């Protein structure tokens, strides 16, 4: 029996022998940061199964009961230790002075720094990772186009390759996000250490606390501010909007109640 000519719907290099398995011949080669993944299961109808980032890495599964219990116990121990230290040293209240009218002005440097960090991380990560993401996205688009133009038999075979390409693309994006987070958290900690903090702006002058309490307050403020900065300007802006909206609504209700009583 003479060999059959290659299928026109499948990309093959000129002069290359026909692949023995169509699904395997279209599996994209992994890039840097995208480990090879086994072909995804295919439904009985031949349609492409849905894929997301949780399908790619097993560590995205929910924590087992023992680990969840250990996490809750660790949080409880830290909380109890904090309360014990507070009671032993007499640390009751930091005396923060919060005025809804000045919150936006006080936190404006934090918002601006968060925006700068976002842009800096984008400049650092994009030249390094965007090329690989574009290649993987192009593979997914090409396979989707081939499936749309192919006959049902070939489309069912190509759907497995599409699932693998999608998984590699999602894994690559997840890896990029982890790199971006590491760069962002480092820059955010540096900014917090040099004075771009959140809670410290609400301390009265002079502070009503001192000694060890003030030291630990500053340490906590640095950690909290670094996390807020790493979360981005949009998250900070939404928190500030929620805060100001709450206080404005409460003030308006109080004023309306007073006006009603005066009548």
Q: Quick check: bond before 206 cis, omega within 30?
A: yes
CA angle 95, 226, 34 (to 5 degrees): 155
> What is the model's pLDDT at position 183?
93
C-alpha distance across the termini of the chain, in Å: 102
Beta carbons of 224 and 262 less than 8 angstroms apart? no
Torsion of CA 146, 148, 151, 152, to 10 degrees: 110
Q: Is 84 left (phi over 0), alpha (psi -120 to 50) or beta?
A: alpha
Beta carbons of 161 and 48 less than 8 angstroms apart? no
How much is the pTM?
0.60
Residues in the chain: 263
Of the candidates 216, 229, 201, 245, the one whose C-alpha atom is nearest the C-alpha of residue 98 is: 201
> What is the model's pLDDT at position 119?
92
Q: What is the pLDDT along the chain (263 residues), one digit of tens a residue?
A: 444 444 444 444 444 444 444 444 444 454 544 444 444 444 443 333 344 444 444 445 666 778 778 888 888 887 777 767 666 566 667 777 777 778 888 888 888 999 999 999 999 998 888 888 899 999 999 988 888 888 888 888 888 888 888 999 999 999 999 999 999 999 999 999 998 998 888 888 777 787 888 888 899 999 999 999 998 888 887 877 777 787 778 777 877 777 777 76
> What is the model's pLDDT at position 86?
64
Domain parsing of the chain, residue ranges: 98-250
Tokens 């969840």, located at residue: 68
């Amino acid at each position: 029996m003479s060999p059959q000519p290659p299928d026109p719907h499948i990309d093959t290099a000129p002069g290359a022998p026909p692949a023995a398995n169509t699904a395997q011949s279209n599996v994209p080669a992994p890039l840097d940061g995208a480990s090879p993944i086994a072909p995804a299961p295919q439904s009985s109808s031949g349609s492409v199964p849905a894929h997301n980032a949780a399908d790619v890495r097993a560590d995205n599964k929910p924590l087992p009961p023992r680990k969840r219990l250990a996490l809750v116990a660790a949080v409880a121990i830290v909380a109890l230790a904090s309360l014990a230290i507070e009671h032993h040293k007499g640390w009751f209240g930091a005396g923060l002075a919060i005025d809804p009218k000045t919150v936006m002005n006080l936190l404006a440097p934090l918002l601006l720094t968060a925006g700068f960090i976002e842009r800096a991380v984008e400049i650092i990560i994009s030249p390094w990772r965007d090329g690989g993401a574009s290649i993987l996205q192009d593979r997914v688009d090409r396979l989707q186009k081939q499936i749309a133009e192919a006959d049902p038999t070939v489309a069912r075979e190509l759907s497995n390759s599409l699932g693998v390409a999608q998984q590699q693309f999602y894994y690559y994006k997840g890896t990029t996000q982890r790199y971006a987070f590491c760069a962002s958290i480092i820059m955010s900690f540096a900014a917090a250490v040099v004075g771009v903090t959140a809670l410290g702006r609400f301390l009265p002058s002079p502070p009503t606390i001192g000694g060890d309490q003030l030291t630990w307050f500053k340490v906590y403020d640095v950690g909290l501010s670094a996390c807020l900065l790493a979360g981005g300007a949009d998250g900070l802006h939404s928190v500030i909007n929620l805060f100001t909206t709450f206080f404005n609504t409460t003030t308006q209700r109080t004023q309306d109640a007073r006006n009603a009583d005066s009548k």
